[in-house]
Amino acid sequence: MKDVVLSAEESAAIADWSEASRQRAEKVLSQYPEKRSAVMPLLYLSMIENGYVTNEGMRQVGVLTGLSSAQVQAVASFYTMYKREPVGDYLLGVCTSISCFLLGADDVLAAVEDETGVPDGETGGDGVFSVEHVECNGACGGAPVVLVNWEMIESVTPEKARELVRWLRHGRPEVVNTEEMQQLFGGARSFDWGIKEAEGAVLPVPAFGPYGSSAGDVPSPNSPGELEGTQTFPRGSRGRP
């Protein structure tokens, strides 16, 4: 790892970022021999700062990496986890790839859309839910799979999906955790012997560790410990209504 000191132009470009994110950007840049190779984690940091990948965020990442805005946009638009528009507090993803499809994912997605009132690919007007269908999450043995802020729940029925939505709407948990949601709303899992995930995703997307937030001053249901360099964001921050 090499020491990285940002140039005056680079520092100025991210002057509006939090101190934690600026430090994180320096650390990320120090881990790559070529600055341009850091484009993805830097895009992630810009998404944390703004809630989604903005045009200004892509310009900032371009300054840090030496890439043009068009090159940064090419990366940001290729990967679906980089969001180009504001996302609700709870991003609900329903896997509709082949294994999940064969075991009723379309019905699960329809239940999520109906219970949230949010169509696939959209965010509700109150900013609570976003809904999207996603591709295979590699948990085909536990199909159908539902993600909440990218925390996975396996073997979800349409009825359980509705319960999940109601649980989120009424409970508004600050931390969502796979283990808890799996017990409440899931069924059979792909692997029972997997390592249990101690931390959860902290609202809102994409504020989850290690680049985002996982512990800090937001309590996790399973582990209140801190992760190095984590950040927390209050609900409604980062340009949300």
> Least CB distance from residue 133 to ligand FES, whole Å?
10
Q: Which residue has the tokens 């507090």?
A: 89
99 binds ligand FES (CB under 6 A): yes
> Least CB distance from residue 27 to ligand FES, whole Å?
33
Q: Binding segment for ligand FES among 9-17, 94-102, 112-120, 180-188 (CB under 6 A)?
A: 94-102
> Least CB distance from residue 214 to ligand FES, whole Å?
24
List all residues 6 or more positions away from 2 whose beta carbon is below 8 Å from its beta carbon: 30
97 binds ligand FES (CB under 6 A): yes
Question: CA 107, CA 201: separation in Å to the nearest integer?
Answer: 26
What 3-state class would DSSP assign to 151? strand
Q: Binding segment for ligand FES among 31-39, 58-66, 92-100, 202-210 (CB under 6 A)?
A: 92-100
The helix-helix angle for 39-50 and 69-78 (nearest 10°) equals: 80
Helix (H) or strand (E) holding 95: strand 90-95
Q: Are 210 and 230 contacting, i.e. CB atoms less than 8 angstroms apart?
A: yes
Question: CA 47, CA 148: separation in Å to the nearest integer?
Answer: 18
Closer residue to ligand FES (CB): 4 or 136 = 136
> Least CB distance from residue 103 to ligand FES, whole Å?
9
128 binds ligand FES (CB under 6 A): no
Interacting residue ranges for ligand FES, rule: CB under 6 A: 95, 97-100, 136-137, 139-140, 143, 145
